[in-house]
Chains A and B, each alone.
Chain A
Amino acid sequence: MNQWTNFTKGFIKENPVFVLLLGMCPTLGVTSSAINGLGMGLATTFVLVMSNLVISLIKSQIPSKVRIPSFIVIIAAFVTVVELTMQAYLPSLFKSLGLFIPLIVVNCLVLGRAEAFASKNNLLSSLVDGVGMGLGFSFALTLLGAAREFFGAGKIFDIVVYPEDYGMLLFVLAPGAFIVLGYLIALINRMNKA
């Protein structure tokens, strides 16, 4: 496969959030602001790239019946690496992402890519796939976070666009997550058809 299409497919065409509907829990849970969405996206990207890398390297050594448990252990190890590193060097981001950091383990996106792509393709393709999918995921989360922050608090990346008092609080709260994501998916569907 052409590596460029392999890389770019994650953004719009096969966007993990908008099109494949994978990893919905962190997508909805942490996107109350753009920066949280970006942080979560990059953390997931790291885990995705590293686990894709390792899995495509050792795929022939793993008997197929214990494939899934081995993948889970590998993914969990990288998640813990992210968890510890973030706790040490980015404590405030760690605090706002909270429970969703350990939950990267059960993000269907990571295990899904490991199973569907990395375990069947070579090192380079798996790496490119991981980076592309990860960045597509980050893009989706940042977009959703920015939209919610803009409508809810009048800010984007903490930069004030209009006074907070005019914001529609609902968008920062739980229902806003569902509603904004619904409209974004409708929008992307429209773009993919065109």
Chain B
Amino acid sequence: MAQKESSFLNMVVTLTIVALVAATVLGFVHDLTKADIELAKKVAQEKAIKSVLPPFDSLGESWKTLPADGADSLEFFPAFDAEQKLVGVAVKTYTKNGFSGLITLMAGISADGNISGYEVLEHKETPGLGSKMDVWFKDESKPSQNIIGKNPVTSNLEVTKDGGEVDAITASTITSRAFLEAIKRAYNTYKEAADQQEATAKADSNKKGGQS
């Protein structure tokens, strides 16, 4: 077949056809994968929630709250057991003070107020140094660096250099500081929200004449 001539009409027609076909194909692929992309995101999130909380039966409706000291809101995922009793709350929290900026975590707070686990979702910390935070703070064999099972009210969750009781990651104090800040932010914001809820619940029940 002979090469098509580069006349204006030919060029316009060719480019239009190429663009149209490409857009149609992509629209089709997009429709095909859309549901699966959503699903993959949801599965990843649920996996993170499961790994930071004690075993639970079902997830309640999530909500978002603005922390007292940040511009972006935290997301809360309450988890319940078979009797609809609260097992714990997973909190998607963050800090912008990492060595390379933003760190996003999923932190678990059990019903009794202890840290039940955490999972690092996103970070840009130095590989081999700051990036060790994904296991460092949950090493059960090293109590001086482990934060799992500790309660931020009774334990001072700060690095030892700042007078706290958590050993910072070797050569990564800034990352460690930022990490603990994110955890505490999750806990404090949750506590505040829970206290408020309790207060409104109390006010409600008072209005209703103490019925429960």
A interface residues with partner B (beta carbon < 8 Å):
32, 60-66, 69-70, 73-74, 76-77, 80-81, 84-85, 87-89, 91-92, 152-153, 164, 167, 169, 172-173
Residues of B within 8 A of A73 (CB): 15, 18-19, 22
What are some 20 contacts across the A-B interface (CB < 8 A)?
A: A60-B1, A60-B3, A60-B4, A63-B3, A63-B6, A63-B10, A70-B18, A77-B26, A84-B33, A84-B37, A85-B33, A87-B40, A88-B37, A88-B39, A88-B40, A89-B36, A152-B127, A172-B127, A173-B127, A173-B128
20 further A-B pairs in the complex, CB-CB below 8 A; given A63-B11, A152-B128: A62-B14, A62-B18, A63-B10, A63-B14, A65-B11, A66-B11, A77-B22, A77-B25, A77-B26, A80-B26, A80-B29, A81-B29, A87-B33, A87-B40, A88-B33, A88-B36, A88-B39, A153-B127, A169-B127, A172-B127
CA separation between A92 and B39, bound complex, in Å? Answer: 13
Q: Binary interface profile of B, 20-40, with partner A (CB < 8 Å = 1, else 0)?
A: 001001100110010011011
Q: Does B129 contact A (CB under 8 A)?
A: yes
Residues of A within 8 A of B33 (CB): 84-85, 87-88
CA separation between A73 and B10, bound complex, in Å? Answer: 17
Q: Does B155 contact A (CB under 8 A)?
A: no
CA separation between A92 and B48, bound complex, in Å? Answer: 13
- Which applies to chain A's interface (DSSP): helix, strand, loop or mixed? helix
Q: A74 and B128: CB pair below 8 A?
A: no
CA separation between A91 and B48, bound complex, in Å? Answer: 14
Least distance between A176 CB and chain B CB atoms (Å): 10
Q: Does B208 contact A (CB under 8 A)?
A: no
Residue on A nearest B31 in the bound complex, by CB: A84
Least distance between A138 CB and chain B CB atoms (Å): 23
CA separation between A91 and B36, bound complex, in Å? Answer: 10
CA separation between A92 and B14, bound complex, in Å? Answer: 38
Residues of A within 8 A of B25 (CB): 77, 81
A74, A92, A172, A173: which contacts B22 (Cβ < 8 A)? A74
Q: A63 and B128: CB pair below 8 A?
A: no
Residues of A within 8 A of B26 (CB): 77, 80-81
- B interface, size bucket: 20 to 34
CA separation between A152 and B126, bound complex, in Å? Answer: 13
Q: Does B44 contact A (CB under 8 A)?
A: yes
Q: A169 and B128: CB pair below 8 A?
A: yes
Residues of B within 8 A of A172 (CB): 127-128
Contact A84:B29 (CB < 8 A) given known A60-B1, A65-B6: yes
Residues of B within 8 A of A62 (CB): 4, 14, 18
Contact A173:B126 (CB < 8 A) given known A62-B14, A77-B22: yes
Q: A153 and B128: CB pair below 8 A?
A: yes
